[in-house]
Amino acid sequence: MTEKSPDDYREPLSSEAIAALSEEVAELVESCRGIFDQNELAGVDHYLNHNEPEMAFEGLLIDLINANRVPDSFDSDQWKRIAQTAGLPAGGVFDEDIWNKFGIWLEDKQ
């Protein structure tokens, strides 16, 4: 396992920022309900319902990358901003290389 440098860490989000991120991620999850069935989004919903929007977003992103799909209302700038807020440039919880995979996936979608 590679050790993270001090620049890879970020300050924890405030409760207000977590609430705002949760709302944004919930909207993105809703936009993806037509792509995935309820079982496929169960993990994403679990993290969202337990106030872990960063993990919910990362899980949703992994699912979309694996399916190679985007929701109809996809806005790459919005997704990049949310990914940055969720701390993905520093590496993910489920996939340490999620930021790079996200960038490659975005390039393919534009």
Query: For 23-67, how does the pLDDT look when each residue is reduced to its tens digit (9 = 90+)?
Result: 999 999 999 999 998 898 999 999 999 999 999 999 999 999 999
pLDDT at 9 > cutoff 60: no
Please report which confidence band the pLDDT of residue 10 belongs to, taking 50, 70 and 90 as the band edges. Answer: low
Q: And the tokens for 28?
A: 């993105």
* Residue type for position 92: G
Is 83:67 a contact under the CB 8 Å cutoff?
no
pLDDT of residue 11: 63
Count other Cβ atoms within 10 Å, centred on residue 42.
11
Compute, in degrees rounded to 10, the torsion defined by CA atoms 12, 18, 24, 27: 130
Q: pTM of the prediction? A: 0.85
